[in-house]
Structure formats: structure tokens, C-alpha cells
Amino acid sequence: MKKRFFVAICFALSSVLNFAADKNVRPEPLAGGNIAIRIDANEQSKYLLLPIEEKADEARMQIIVNNDLRRNLYVRLARGHVDYYMPVLLDEFRGNEITVITHVGDYAKTACMSEFKLSDSFDKSNKEAFRPAFHHTPVYGWMNDPNGMFYLDGKWHLFFQYNPYGSMWGNMNWAHATSIDLINWNDEGIAIAPDALGSIFSGSCVVDKEGTAGFGEGAVVALYTSAGDVQCQSLAYSVDGGQTFTKYAGNPILTSDIPDFRDPNMFWNEDIKAWNLILACGQEMRIYSSPDLKNWKEESSFGSELGCHGGVWECPDLMKISTLDGKTSKWVLFCNINPGGPAGGSATQYFIGNFDGHTFTVDSESRYANGNSLWQDYGKDHYATVSFSNAPDGRHTMIAWMSNWQYANDVPTMQYRSANSIAREPFLYYGADKQLYMGSRPSPEYDNKGLDKNVKIKGSCKIRLSNDEGQEMVFTYDQKAMTLTCDRSKSGIKDFSADFDVNAVAPVRNKLTSLRIFIDNSSIELFGNNGEVVMTSLVFPNSPLKNVKIEKL
């Protein structure tokens, strides 16, 4: 039997009645200035396609099923013209009375009423020339921070901040992708969706091998920020290796009056035989411990007087890292900050020190005094970096979001926005000044894949990466000043933001002798001395900047 159901979409002004082109989508005026669009969806109607106009203001849409609120979405519904469509999957609502109420103030003049469509398919084929060839991107929609990454049974699991209803930030879900080689990624859909506590902000996962949380041995446990009227921390768990998650009924498990209280990062600490958690709280990081991932004891806080404070502290990580010869190990605390990065906007600062499971202290306060700090990557497009839990062979493997909040919503793609960096492995090294620094090397998965260009350099030089159309990205290595400067003023499209064409400058700690460069369709990741100096940058050229030329200075 053919089941039918209704979707009613209600707008805030009632005078629009530009009737829909799809005969199964029928606008009707409602009282109170709202407009309902009733939709007859048969079994072939897998999706309701929402017409999106990127520059339109967000409209609130409530999907109500049998009088229960099932979705609260903020969507840039088209008013003047449609830029693209975003799908709402109808499967879970089928067979019910559905009402979608849309609260928009000025829909009287909108043309979009006729543009809602039912469809049995949604075209996911790539439409973007700038889509990377070997970096992870969402198939469609908006992405920011990597979240809850872990490794299990040969698979890398990447979750990420995701908006399924538009290619700009909003409606935060955790989406999921998996890979066996850190190069090719499978889209695994939405993993954790917004609920009554709010949308799902960043967080972490651990593999709870002993079942300390009571969700079973080997359960994957996620802790994320519920972002509603306030920010608080909530748990979810998976008993099928991270494919599906169940939210813990006792959420939230950590609350505070601090408005910026987010991005929990948990890890097992063998030194204290307990879990630790590091959480961004305003202008400091708080450290907690727990026997069971549910009850967290606040141990200490770090950083209010140290490092950079030009923006909000976000997305922490904390881990023990060694020099390549294994002789020196230190704890390193990662603190993403936005704005306030060295080249403007977002960036990742790090603190080298000691951690006993309770308190983190830096080795040298003077390195972090008076607003000074150390940065993991001196390019403009490296943010929210965090590590995979349970990585093989005790590895620390990290991925960063390859963008900058200054212009992430404006970069010239539309089907999707943002890519992740290639994975990197942090290590410690000594600079010529005998001080300890942290570098990041490309993960070994990228070795011998032909994805990188390797060049030797000797003394000051310019490194030009160009295409045949004359577009270029120029790095200048000044051996006297010990700096590497990245200039993308001629790299292609840049007029979407005045903050894009700003030179980034990296301090060089040891003379540069080699460069390893990963050039993709819209990014350049440069690793000097195999990761001692790292610069990650977006570019939007007509064709990839694949020609590499070194000019001695």
C-alpha cells in the first residue's frame, strides 16, 4: 500500500503564495503569519530537498512528528535564488504526520516557496574543481574541527564537526568517515546528532578496553560538548566499533557557569592508571581524572597567565612526546586559539612540560611570558588539531582542520567547505639555541605514494610553486634571519577575504636543508627538515601549483 505523509513548512509571513512547482509540495497559509508547505511523500521520496541561498539569513525550521519536535534546524533558505539543495532524509519520518515550521521574518517576497522538492535521490557527485585529491573532505556540506578520532582493528575513524543542511557553519553534528590508509576516506554519515541539550560540538573518543564505564569491554566512548543555552559535556558510546552511538541517559555529566566550556579530550594515563580529561574553560585548560569516564574529579587548571590569549582557548590535547632518538620525552599540551594566531585568526599553540596525571607545568615559563608562545604550524590554515586515540604502536597521529575562522565560511567552494590536513606525527627536537621544540612529520602512510615533492636547499632561497598559468605561491627562506615566509598573493582566487592575502612567517630553529611539500588542488603543506618547520596554507589557483623552482638568494 502506498503510504502518504505530510510535511508542512510554515513561514513567518503569510502573504506568499507562489505555489510550488513540485505538485507534491503545496504551500498553505497558516495563522500567525506563518506558511505551511504540505508535502505528500510516497515511498520513492527519500529526501526533501531544501533550497539554499548562501547569502540569505538563517531561518529556523522545526520538524515536528506527531506533535513532537524532532529537528530544530537553522537553514539559509533561498529567498532570491537557489545556490544549491541540501537533503533532509525522510526515512525516519515516513508514515507519520510531519510538520516543518519555518520562522523567517521576510518571506513575503521570497521565490523559494516553489523550490522545495521531493526526490528519490540526491546527487553526491563532485562538482568542485578545488576538491582535494588526497585530503579528507565532506561529500557535501560544511565541516570544521576533527573530533573523536580513534584507530581500531586496522581502521582510522575520523569524526568531524558537520552541517548537513548547508555549506556554512551551523547545526553541528558529528559526522563520520573511515580510512585504512589515511588517504582514501569512506563517508559513514552522521554519527551523533543534536538533541534537547543542544548541538554537538567538538570532543574525543576512547576505546574503553576494560569496560570501565560500564558500557562493555571494548566499547568506544565519546565525550562531546552539548552546546545549547549553555555548554556542558555529554557521553555517548558505541558497541559496534564506532559505527553507531547511543547517548548516555545521565547526560550532561559535566557542567559549569563558564560560557566557553568545551572540547573535552580524554585519554588513558598509565602513570596514574586512570583516565584524564583536558577541557577548554575560558582562558585556561582544566584537567580532570576519572576511574570510569563518567565521574570526573577536577585536578587543576593551566595557562591563564601563559602563552597567547588573543582569542578563545579551544580544542586541547595532552600527550607525551619524544625526540626521534627516544632519549628525551616530555608532555606537550596543545591549545588551539581563535583568533590570536601568529598570522592572524586561528592557530595551534603548544606548551612543553611535565604532567603527573594531576597538574601540568611548563619547563620554562619565560618562553611563554608576555604573550609569547610556540606554534605547531606557522601557516594560516591549520586549526583544531587533535590526535587519534588508540593509534597503533604507541603512535601519536594528529589531523588538523585546514582552514581559518577568518574566512572559512567564504572560501570559493559551495558543494562542501573545508578539508582536513594530512595526518602528522609530532616529535621533539633541539634547535640551534639548544632549546626543545616540537615538530610534526607526515605520517608514514604517505611515504612512497608519490604525493610529495622533495627538494634539497642550501642557504637563503625562494621556493616557487607555480602552475602554467603563472599563478604561484612563494616561500622565502632567509638563513640570516632564520625565517621562512609564505606569500600567496599571486596564488589564485583571494578576494573572498582581506585576511587571506597576508604573509605568514615561521621561525626556523635549525638551518633548513630539505623541504617536503604536499601540493593538492587547493592546499600546500610544507615540512622543512622533515617537520621541524611546518606551514599549511590554502590556495585557490586555476590548476594545481605543481611546478617547483628554487632560486638562490
Q: Which residues are near ligand FRU by CB under 6 A? A: 144-145, 161, 172, 201-202, 225, 262-263, 314-315, 384
In three-state secondary structure terms, 92 is helix
Residue 339 C-beta: closest distance to ligand FRU, Å: 11
Name which of 285 and 474 has its Cβ closer to ligand FRU: 285
Exactly one of 40, 145, 229, 260 is catalytic; which is it? 145
Residue 163 C-beta: closest distance to ligand FRU, Å: 9
Instruction: Say if residues 337 and 347 touch (Cβ distance below 8 Å).
Output: yes
Q: What are the grid coordinates assigned to 57, written together?
A: 539569513
List, in sequence order, every beta strand (DSSP E) within 58-185.
59-65, 68-75, 84-89, 97-103, 117-119, 141-152, 155-163, 173-179
Residue 405 C-beta: closest distance to ligand FRU, Å: 7
Name which of 384 and 473 has its Cβ closer to ligand FRU: 384
Distance separating alpha carbons of residues 467 and 482, to the nearest angstrom: 28
Name which of 116 and 313 has its Cβ closer to ligand FRU: 313
Residue 162 C-beta: closest distance to ligand FRU, Å: 9
List, in sequence order, every beta strand (DSSP E) within 467-546.
472-478, 483-490, 504-507, 514-520, 523-528, 533-538
The angle formed by the CA atoms of residues 524, 528 and 530, to the nearest 5 degrees, is: 105
Name which of 126 and 255 has its Cβ closer to ligand FRU: 255
Beta bridge partner(s), residue 404:
none
Residue 123, Cβ neighbours under 10 Å: how many? 11
Nearest Cα to Cα of residue 41 among 82, 80, 111, 96: 96
Residue 161 C-beta: closest distance to ligand FRU, Å: 4
Instruction: Say if residues 30 and 16 touch (Cβ distance below 8 Å).
Output: no
Distance separating alpha carbons of residues 55 and 260, to the nearest angstrom: 28
Name which of 408 and 512 has its Cβ closer to ligand FRU: 408
Residue 135 C-beta: closest distance to ligand FRU, Å: 18
Q: Return the percent helix, strand and coil in the chain, to nearest 5.
A: 5, 50, 45
Residue 165 C-beta: closest distance to ligand FRU, Å: 14
Task: Give the alpha-carbon dihedral of 72, 77, 83, 88, to 10 degrees.
Answer: 30
Distance separating alpha carbons of residues 286 and 339, to the nearest angstrom: 20
Residue 486 C-beta: closest distance to ligand FRU, Å: 22
Name which of 198 and 544 has its Cβ closer to ligand FRU: 198
- Please name the residues in contact with 106: beta carbons below 8 A apart, sequence gap of 6 or more: 12, 13, 79
CA distance to 119, 276, 545, per residue, from 167 (Å): 20, 35, 26
Name which of 119 and 497 has its Cβ closer to ligand FRU: 497
Residue 83 C-beta: closest distance to ligand FRU, Å: 22
Backbone φ and ψ for 529, nearest 5 degrees, come out as: 45, 50
Nearest Cα to Cα of residue 178 among 150, 203, 205, 202: 150
Name which of 263 and 377 has its Cβ closer to ligand FRU: 263
Instruction: Say if residues 309 and 282 touch (Cβ distance below 8 Å).
Output: no
145 as an active site residue: the answer is: yes
Name which of 225 and 409 has its Cβ closer to ligand FRU: 225
Task: Give the alpha-carbon dihedral of 245, 250, 256, 261, to 10 degrees.
Answer: 0
**What is the set of active-site residues?**
145
